[in-house]
Amino acid sequence: MKELIASIENPQSWTIEIKQDYEGYFESLVRSWIAKKNGPLKHSKFIISSGRYRVAVVSYKSSGGELHLDFYAAFRRGFGKLSEEEVKQIIDLL
């Protein structure tokens, strides 16, 4: 497990803040979702955290212009699943 605390600025006026990630897996996943987003983003800051013992593959909470995404760490190794519909809902939320 690699714990990172970083902030990655983007010229399109959004930021990714990493509280905890595993070799950048979840950051890459969120970046790919942002790239798939049609239209303007609803949030300007995305906070990524992950860890063990989560009740869902990903849970999220929106507060102001921030979206906090909390991932189940084992998802990166194939445990758990997000349906296409769930991914679309998350992309719409971005």
Indicate whether 73 belongs to any domain. yes
Q: Which amino acid is it at 78?
A: G
Range of the domain at 36: 6-93
Residues in a beta bridge with 61: 68
Count how many domains the chain has. 1
Is residue 3 within 8 Å of 20, Cβ to Cβ? yes
Percentage of residues of the chain with pLDDT beyond 70:
87
Q: What are phi and psi of 4, to 5 degrees?
A: -120, 140
Q: What is the pLDDT of residues 69-89, one digit of tens each?
A: 999 999 999 999 999 999 999
Burial of 32 (0-12, 13-18, 19+ CB in 10 A): exposed
Beta-carbon contacts of 41 under 8 Å, excluding residues fewer than 6 positions away, are 12, 14, 34, 94
Residue type (1 letter), 25: Y
Mean pLDDT of the chain: 88
Does any domain span residue 1? Answer: no
Tokens at residue 76, please? 């990166």
Q: What angle do CA 3, 43, 90 make, to 5 degrees?
A: 75
Residue 42 covered by a domain? yes
pTM value > 0.95: no
